């Protein structure tokens, strides 16, 4: 048995566990987690996490054409920075 007096960080969690936690956060929680550190920022701003929130909130309002336009905007934004 190890005697560890070190505190565990959320970044010490396995990738899958951290991903599952981030997937369950509401938009405000993702935004807050993104300000913790650069590693979490990179994860919390991923389109994968935000796409679900977009569909959930705006899915009935925006149609397929608007959704394709949004995906195009995200893709071109990546090309420029």
Q: What is the pLDDT of residues 27-54, one digit of tens each?
A: 999 999 999 999 999 999 888 888 888 8
Confidence at residue 15, expressed as pLDDT on a 0 to 100 scale: 92
**Cβ contact 22:35 at 8 Å:** no
Report the C-alpha gap between 22 and 29 in whole angstroms.
8
φ, ψ dihedrals at 67, nearest 5°: -65, -45
Report the C-alpha gap between 23 and 33 in whole angstroms.
12
Confidence of residue 10 (pLDDT cuts 50, 70, 90): confident
Q: What is the pTM of this model?
A: 0.63
Report the C-alpha gap between 42 and 19 in whole angstroms.
12
Report the C-alpha gap between 77 and 71 in whole angstroms.
10
């Amino acid at each position: 048995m190890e005697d560890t007096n070190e505190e565990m960080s959320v970044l010490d969690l396995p990738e899958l566990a951290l991903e599952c936690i981030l997937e369950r956060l509401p938009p405000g929680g993702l935004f807050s987690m993104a300000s913790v550190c650069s590693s979490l920022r990179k994860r919390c701003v991923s389109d994968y996490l935000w796409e679900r929130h977009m569909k959930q909130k705006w899915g009935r309002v925006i149609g397929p054409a608007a959704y394709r336009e949004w995906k195009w905007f995200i893709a071109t934004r990546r090309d420029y920075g």
